[in-house]
Amino acid sequence: MDYPFKSIEKKWQKIWEDKRIFYVSESSEKPKYYILSMFPYASGVLHMGHISNYSISDALVRYKIMNGYNVLQPMGYDAFGLPAENYAIENNSHPRITTENNAKIMDEQFKQVGFGYDWNRKISTCEPEYYKWNQWFFLKMYEKGLVYRKKSYVNWCPDCRTVLANEQVEDGKCWRCGTEVSQKEMEQWFIKITNYAEELLDQSQLQYWPERVKIMQKNWIGKSYGTEIFFKMVDSGERIDVFTTRADTIFGCTYIVLAPEHPLVHKLIQNNSYKGKIEKFIHRVINESKIVRSAEDNVKEGIFTGQYAINPVNNENVPIYIANYVLMEYGTGAIMAVPAHDQRDFEFAKKYNLPMKIVIQNKDRSLDLKTMTSAYVEEGVLVNSAQFDGMNNIKAIKSISEWMESEKIGKMTISYRLRDWGISRQRYWGTPIPIIRCPKCGDVPVPEKDLPVELPFNVEVGKTRQNPLKSVPEFVHTTCPKCGGYAERETDTMDTFFDSSWYYVRYADPHNHNMPFDSKKANYWVPVDQYIGGIEHATMHLLYVRFFHKFMRDLGMVNSDEPCIRLLTQGMVTKDGAKMSKSKGNVVDPQYIIDQYGADTVRVFMLFSSPPDKDKEWKDESVKGASRFLNRVWRLIDEQKDFLKSVHQDYDKNANISSELKKLRYSTHFTIKKVTEDIEERMQFNTAIAAIMQHLNNIQSYYIIDENDSTEIAIYKEAIEIIPYLLVPFAPHISEELWQMLGHKKILLETEWPKYEPEFLKTEEITYVIQINGKLRSKITVSADSDEDLVKEKALANYKIQKYITGKEIIKIIVVPNKLVNIVSK
RNA sequence: GCGAAAGUGGCGGAAUUGGCAGACGCGCUGGACUUAGAAUCCAGUUCUGGAAACAGAGUAGGGGUUCAAGUCCCCUCUUUCGCACCA
């Protein structure tokens, strides 16, 4: 009943493998093209999202190969990480064992779908051969001063028992397990990604990236221009710097606020008789989980320190508060409060009965503190601001800042929302951070020659609440590379985003034992020409990769500025309107579908259902539709293959043929054009497939008049043969098989992508739409060489049109060449 | 709150530069084949009226520009996503 997809798919997978179609090297005359899909987490099963993602890249790969490119498409596994460790704990196994098993299963599944990978380049991030270079890069960063260790409050997931980067906290919850994240003070390793903030903000080489991703990155980095203003404490004279973007309101400052984590806080409250009470407050706020503290409706709370500071612009004494709404991580961790012109300060001042001072007046209505119900944040003119009175407040930002700089009471600065990248994880299954802690010498980097610092295998995972590495003496106990004395190893492992930040270059030279990769090979393949992956990585992975690339460039290892030229963020696969997930119970196992309909059907369904960057709603019926289409193609060719095999393709192109036959030929060449442009220019596979379906319909509504007419048969054959050709990127197995059935020896992947003949897209007759006042009223067909006047004449003469225009005044007639005539009448 | 994207038949979607709205597919309706079902094939399928020809309405809603608007402009609504006390 169905075409024999099982045997065909196996057959062609073997042929591609035997012919080494997807195995590539740098020694090629052809131009290179590097297509990369984000590698999967080694979870042990391919889900529909993977199939969807990889079907897109595989279609492009085949298209590019046929267009004469040396195409690299590698595959590997993101193999380290928490879920693997947790999975192993649950199953009483070891993550190395479960991960290796998972990878094997996934290898098989990949092969079953027939994706064309260069398997020689497979990498797995949990191999010492790979993570050795993570450590190497870490040491290089250390050398360059990009690594530091700092005690800080970090996002702590109590369930995963590890630290999370800010990016890994979603709505105050752990991005992996959904547990509410709390704050914990810990020593952590950080990478100074902020050193590259300015460069990461430069998106000039990302013109082929989705706007959405670029905006998200820009917001994430969050650059703002502002001013640091130097307050002094009345008692000790110690400086407190505050950051503001609203220097224009400095004269309206009535108090200043420190974040509870601010380093000066302890000193400030030393002699306060309420010290205990204040400390209690600080303690409470700090331990409050982020979600509570940052919630929109969280009540602003604060406490007076008992101390005052001097506002440097007017020498006024202002009280110093500590409050929950000031963040240590942004700016200087201290703010000046201008309640009259900042909503947050306004709310706080109202609550604690603090004074307010208007320093910006509205031109039309005069503001009054007694009647104000919210802060005035609009434009206006400065008042109560000494020599700046009367100045427009926007202009005053600069003027006041410059003045403060010259008075040495402030300086203009730039502040970023982006924080440094905390890479420490307190778990076993990751790259050990190559640092040795010596009681004498402090933190000493592991010498390069001693890499890799191997992750010990014999570890009891999940037995203790602490990092299992801590309980492996062979790992922890070591000697200091500097002084030779007893020392202990760092037991933190790296965030797995470190692993995935440079894997795309490793693919260029995956077996290098001396270096992460050879620069020559890297520069041949990199940057990636087309990168494909999920939008969820917009501010995580995609920011880290860009950072890493620039770092590698600064080391002289790559000669480009960005890791990838084109980026496609594919949509997710949904069912019943929601993302497929176990908890929702709406998961469809690709394996089942492949068994039932074959890999080509699944691919066609995925690519046909919507454009690649849109979500794909899974519908069992639509899968049947994709299968039905492939079966129709199969039957058409299967029934006619013997007849067509005997037909000569060549024919006299100038021969006089029927208009029906011309239409068929037109359809063939039009479809080539359409499919080519849809792939090449728009990456829109759904319309490309629709065009092929349309062409199939056109063929099936054509009836051969004379089986002995060699011209007719040749054109008919051409129409049919183009189908496997154009279908091969989307349904590679069936297309190759059909092509062979039609008697061809060379496989499609070894032939060139077809070209359309512009001559055949010209038609002798053109149908014009005739509108009257913009409304469609009739259609006429004229010969293609008709000039505008003739078209007008015929349009007016049309009997349906006559009905509408008799007795009416024609004001003008618009003719759009080859398209329509619009008659404007009254 | 800020930023972004989107809103088109019963459904997924198409309409690429302002020029025939609904390509293609699903579903549905009727028919053919069949003892029957499945599969397949044929016809139809935006809505309203009509047997039909045809007419009218129609791309979230309202307004505007234009000979012509799904497409451009303004306002409103809804949905999704991102950020969110960032001073």
- The tokens describing A416, both together, are 């970023």
pLDDT of residue A466: 75
CA distances from A632 to A145, A623, A625, A699 (A): 64, 14, 10, 12
pLDDT of residue A550: 98
Contacts of A204 (CB under 8 A, 6+ apart): none
The alpha carbon dihedral of A304, A309, A311, A314 has a sign of: positive
CA distances from A138 to A70, A134, A135, A146, A814 (A): 33, 6, 5, 9, 69
Q: Compute the distance between CA of residue A433 and CA of residue A430 in angstroms, rounded to an integer.
A: 9
Q: Which amino acid is at A513?
A: H
Q: How far in angstroms lies nucleotide B26's C1' from the CA of residue A608?
A: 12
pLDDT of residue A300: 87
Provide the strand spans (E) within A208-361.
224-233, 239-244, 255-258, 302-311, 316-323, 334-337, 360-361
pLDDT of residue A566: 95
pLDDT of residue A116: 97
- What is the average pLDDT across A319-346? 93
How do A316-323 and A255-258 pair as beta strands?
Answer: parallel
Q: Which nucleotide in the DNA or RNA is closest to residue A677, CA to C1'?
A: B16
Q: How far in angstroms lies nucleotide B5's C1' from the CA of residue A657?
A: 50
Q: What is the DSSP letter of A826?
A: -
Given a cut of 90, whether residue A213 has pLDDT beyond it is yes
Q: Are A55 and A607 in contact (CB under 8 A)?
A: yes
Secondary element (H or E) of residue A113: helix A95-113
Q: Which of residues 454-483 of A touch strand B (CB under 7 A)?
A: none
Tell me which fold the domain A5-126+497-593 belongs to.
Rossmann fold (3.40.50)
Given a cut of 60, whether residue A787 has pLDDT beyond it is yes
Q: Which nucleotide in the DNA or RNA is closest to residue A212, CA to C1'?
A: B4
Region for residue A386 given its phi and psi (left: phi exceeds 0; alpha: psi -120 to 50; beta: otherwise): left
Q: Does nucleic acid strand B have an atom less than 7 angstroms from the CB of A288?
A: no
pLDDT of residue A779: 87
Given a cut of 60, whether residue A177 has pLDDT beyond it is yes
- The tokens describing A762, both together, are 């010209």
Q: Does nucleic acid strand B have an atom less than 7 angstroms from the CB of A702?
A: no
Region for residue A209 given its phi and psi (left: phi exceeds 0; alpha: psi -120 to 50; beta: otherwise): beta
Query: Among A330, A359, A327, A329, which Cα is nearest to A342's?
Result: A359
Q: Which amino acid is at A282?
A: I
- What is the average pLDDT across A88-92? 85
Q: How far in angstroms lies nucleotide B22's C1' from the CA of residue A113?
A: 34
Architecture of domain A224-415: Alpha-Beta Complex (3.90)
Q: What share of chain A is helix, strand, coil (3-state, %, to 5)?
A: 40, 20, 40
Q: Does nucleic acid strand B have an atom less than 7 angstroms from the CB of A351?
A: no
Q: Does nucleic acid strand B have an atom less than 7 angstroms from the CB of A228?
A: no
- What is the average pLDDT across A237-246? 95
Q: Does nucleic acid strand B have an atom less than 7 angstroms from the CB of A819?
A: yes
Q: Does nucleic acid strand B have an atom less than 7 angstroms from the CB of A677?
A: yes
pLDDT-based confidence at A293, cuts 50/70/90? low
Q: Which of residues 80-99 of A touch strand B (CB under 7 A)?
A: none
pLDDT of residue A736: 98
The owner of tokens 């050193």 is A195
Whether residue A590 is preceded by a cis peptide bond, meaning omega within 30 degrees of 0, is: no
The alpha carbon dihedral of A345, A351, A354, A357 has a sign of: positive
pLDDT of residue A397: 94
Q: Which nucleotide in the DNA or RNA is closest to residue A347, CA to C1'?
A: B85
Q: Which nucleotides of B are covered by protein (CB under 7 A)?
A: 3-5, 11-16, 19-21, 23-27, 39-43, 55-56, 67-69, 81-87
pLDDT-based confidence at A273, cuts 50/70/90? confident
The owner of tokens 């009535």 is A254
Give A190-240 as a DSSP string: EE-GGGGHHHHH--TT-TBS-HHHHHHHHHHH--EEEEEEEEEETTT--EE
Three-class SS state of A324: coil
Q: Does nucleic acid strand B have an atom less than 7 angstroms from the CB of A701?
A: yes
ipTM score: 0.96
- What is the average pLDDT across A187-212? 94
Spacing of C-alpha A255 from chain mean position = 43
The owner of tokens 């089986």 is A707
Q: How far in angstroms lies nucleotide B57's C1' from the CA of residue A38?
A: 49
The alpha carbon dihedral of A410, A411, A416, A420 has a sign of: negative
A707-741 per-position pLDDT tens digit: 888 899 999 999 999 999 999 999 999 999 999 99
Contacts of A283 (CB under 8 A, 6+ apart): none
pLDDT of residue A783: 87
Compute the C-alpha angle A585/A588/A590, nearest 5°: 150
Other Cβ atoms closer than 10 A to A48: 22
Q: Are A710 and A653 in contact (CB under 8 A)?
A: no
Q: Compute the distance between CA of residue A377 and CA of residue A393 in angstroms, rounded to an integer.
A: 10
Q: What are the helix (H) ranges across A500-619? A: 503-506, 519-525, 541-554, 590-597, 599-609
Burial call A779-796: b when 16+ CB within 10 Å, e when fewer: ebebeeebeeeebbebbe
Q: Does nucleic acid strand B have an atom less than 7 angstroms from the CB of A777?
A: yes
- What is the average pLDDT across A624-634? 95
Q: Are A154 and A188 in contact (CB under 8 A)?
A: yes
Q: Which residue gives the smallest C-alpha to C1' distance to B11?
A: A619
Structural domain spans, chain A = 5-126+497-593, 224-415, 619-761, 765-825
**Residue A825 burial (C-beta neighbours within 10 Å; 0-12, 13-18, 19+):** middle
Strand partners, A780: A768
- The tokens describing A529, both together, are 């020409």
Query: Among A637, A634, A630, A532, which Cα is nearest to A210's?
Result: A532
Q: Are A382 and A394 in contact (CB under 8 A)?
A: no
Mean residue pLDDT across chain A: 92
Q: Compute the distance between CA of residue A704 and CA of residue A692 in angstroms, rounded to an integer.
A: 20
Compute the C-alpha angle A756/A768/A809, nearest 5°: 160
Q: Are A725 and A748 in contact (CB under 8 A)?
A: yes
Q: How far in angstroms lies nucleotide B55's C1' from the CA of residue A778?
A: 14
Helices (H) and strands (E) in chain A, counts: 26, 32
pLDDT of residue A580: 85
Q: Are A498 and A134 in contact (CB under 8 A)?
A: yes
How do A528-534 and A316-323 pair as beta strands?
Answer: unpaired
Q: How far in angstroms lies nucleotide B85's C1' from the CA of residue A418?
A: 17
Q: Compute the distance between CA of residue A505 and CA of residue A701 in angstroms, rounded to an integer.
A: 51
Query: Among A756, A751, A733, which Cα is nearest to A66's?
Result: A751
Tell me which fold the domain A765-825 belongs to.
Ubiquitin-like (UB roll) (3.10.20)
pLDDT of residue A296: 53
Q: How far in angstroms lies nucleotide B10's C1' from the CA of residue A588?
A: 24
Q: What is the DSSP letter of A252?
A: G
Spacing of C-alpha A175 from chain mean position = 16
- What is the average pLDDT across A552-581? 93
- The tokens describing A94, both together, are 């070891």
Q: Which of residues 789-818 of A touch strand B (CB under 7 A)?
A: 800, 812, 814, 816
Q: Which nucleotide in the DNA or RNA is closest to residue A624, CA to C1'?
A: B26
* Radius of gyration of the CA atoms of chain A, in A: 34
pLDDT of residue A395: 92
- Does the domain at A619-761 match CATH 1.20.1050.10? Answer given as no
Compute the C-alpha angle A159/A160/A164, nearest 5°: 115
Q: What are the helix (H) ranges across A380-516? A: 393-406, 473-476, 496-499, 503-506
Q: Which of residues 297-316 of A touch strand B (CB under 7 A)?
A: 298-300
Q: How far in angstroms lies nucleotide B14's C1' from the CA of residue A622?
A: 17
A418-462 per-position pLDDT tens digit: 999 999 998 899 999 999 999 999 999 999 999 999 999 988 776
Q: Does nucleic acid strand B have an atom less than 7 angstroms from the CB of A537?
A: no
A135-161 per-position pLDDT tens digit: 999 999 999 999 999 987 788 888 877
Contacts of A110 (CB under 8 A, 6+ apart): A46, A54, A75, A117
Q: Are A561 and A547 in contact (CB under 8 A)?
A: no
A455-504 per-position pLDDT tens digit: 999 887 766 667 889 989 999 999 999 999 999 999 999 999 999 999 99
Given a cut of 70, whether residue A1 has pLDDT beyond it is no
Q: Compute the distance between CA of residue A607 and CA of residue A570 in angstroms, rounded to an integer.
A: 11
- What is the average pLDDT across A278-296? 74
- The tokens describing A48, both together, are 């529909």
